[in-house]
Amino acid sequence: MQLSNRISQIQPSATLKVSGKAKQMIANGIDVINLGIGEPDFQTPDNIKQAAIAAIQTGKASFYTPAAGLPRLREAIANVTATDYGISVDQTNVAVTTGAKMALYGTFQAILNPGDGVLLPEPYWVSYAEQIKLAGGVPMGMPVTDGFKVTPELLEQALTAQVKVLLLNSPENPTGVIYEPAELQAIADWAEQHQIWVITDDIYGKLTYNGAKFTSIAALKDQLPTNMIVINGVSKTYSMTGWRIGYVVANSELIKALSAFLSHATGNPAAASQYAALEALTGLQDDAEMMRHAFEQRLNTLYPLLNAIPGFSLATKPQGAFYLFPDVADAQALTGIATTGEFVDQLLTEAHVAVVDGNAFGVDHHVRLSYATDLETLKNAVSRITEFMKTHTK
Ligand SMILES: Cc1ncc(COP(=O)(O)O)c(C=O)c1O
């Protein structure tokens, strides 16, 4: 009995793997601090939970919805995007999906032919490469500036006849970097000139800190350019990772194709979750702001503490998302631990702190820590890592 070639070329999600190992250790009674997972520690706000409960109790959530989502939800997403991005879009430009993961998966299925290349500025989120492979495409990791940004010059160097798509993620997982409008304009011009699709993963767009402003590359004109595909969702902003609602905003022809794909792949995203997402996007935003503010405080506390750990360095302070991506080359040199994978393993087994190996994001000698957990736990994690460095420094 043999598995398909397709499935044999993909790896399980590295972030879920680390987190699974940490959870197993916790289940075995070990006090592990899990900074491996990218999920807010807050419960979903009450008004959102109540909207789902009402949808279940009134029976509205009992039935299939259209494959691309409830018309009211598609309309609400179009309205929020039109307002936030200053572009004119309507519900024919929107497909609701089972998490932003399915938004990306369906998009790759809809636009990639076998052998088509997707440029992935490094570091990049773990699932992009595997999803591209599942669509028959070729993930093409590419170098970025020291500030973790891609430029038209670097894109020009990476360009081959194979390249069909550029994937941008801002605010970025794992670096927390946000692109400036002028930088985006230059990238958009380059993509237009070469007729390259741009997928912009804006899932962390509302999680920006210390006055940093997020602009999407899809928000530079009054109209959404035909080659731009926006990926977004409610998972991170509204602490709704378990509800699985994401969405795509793109030209209506692509949305039609995507809807056909979704009609066979998922049928529709869970109806109760769609009613919850409708409330998230149209209801009071106070809880979302409270959570954003909490992440900001954590970043401001954790950033200097982490930089003070011998061998850990973070040149620029992240501006968004909820991750830190320190360079640990010196920490490895100090401790004589040869690979970042081993360093991460030892941190987990000895210091009981779970972080993710930067290699999972295409960049060696870095680790990713998530600060989507409370301040006390974060400070405790820093103490444990500091102690680990003290005992292992040669
Ligand atoms: C950059 C990025 N895009 C997409 C997703 C997927 O989000 P969702 O939980 O809505 O599928 C994540 C989740 O970790 C992410 O970090």
CB 67, CB 259: distance < 8 Å: yes
- Per-residue burial over 11-42, b if 16 or more Cβ lie within 10 Å, else e, is eebbbeebbebbbebeeeeeebbbbbbbbbbb
Q: Which atom of ligand 1 is nearest to the CA of 103?
A: 11
CA 289 to chain centre: 19
What's the fold here for domain 5-43+287-392? Aspartate Aminotransferase, domain 1 (3.90.1150)
Does the C-beta of 123 come closer than 6 Å to ligand 1? no
Block residue for tokens 């999680």: 207
Q: Which atom of ligand 1 is nearest to the CA of 39?
A: 14
Instruction: Tell which one of 203, 204, 325 to mutate to probe ligand 1, the residue whose CB is within 8 A of the most ligand atoms.
Output: 203
User: Could you tell me the residue ranges of all domains in the chain?
Assistant: 5-43+287-392, 63-282
Per-residue model confidence (pLDDT) at position 95: 98
- Residue 136 has which token pair? 């028959």
Cα–Cα distance measured from residue 130 to residue 9, given in angstroms and rounded to the nearest whole number:
8
Does the C-beta of 203 come closer than 6 Å to ligand 1? yes
Per-residue model confidence (pLDDT) at position 148: 95
Cα–Cα distance measured from residue 22 to residue 370, given in angstroms and rounded to the nearest whole number:
14
Name, in order, each residue with C-beta under 8 angstroms of 130's C-beta and a sequence gap of 6 or more.
Answer: 10, 11, 13
Per-residue model confidence (pLDDT) at position 15: 76
Instruction: Tell which one of 204, 207, 214, 236 to mutate to probe ligand 1, the residue whose CB is within 8 A of the most ligand atoms.
Output: 236
Query: Within the chain, which residues score under 70 in pLDDT?
Result: none
Strands 356-357 and 367-370: antiparallel
Distance in Å, CA 321 to ligand 1 centroid = 11
Cα–Cα distance measured from residue 305 to residue 1, given in angstroms and rounded to the nearest whole number:
52
Block residue for tokens 């490094």: 122
The correct CATH number of 63-282 out of 3.40.640.10, 3.90.930.12, 3.40.50.970, 3.40.190.10 is: 3.40.640.10
Does the C-beta of 235 come closer than 6 Å to ligand 1? yes
End-to-end alpha carbon distance in the chain:
50
Per-residue model confidence (pLDDT) at position 12: 78
CB 112, CB 135: distance < 8 Å: yes
Strands 367-370 and 323-324: antiparallel
Does the C-beta of 131 come closer than 6 Å to ligand 1? no
Distance in Å, CA 101 to ligand 1 centroid = 6
Per-residue model confidence (pLDDT) at position 16: 77
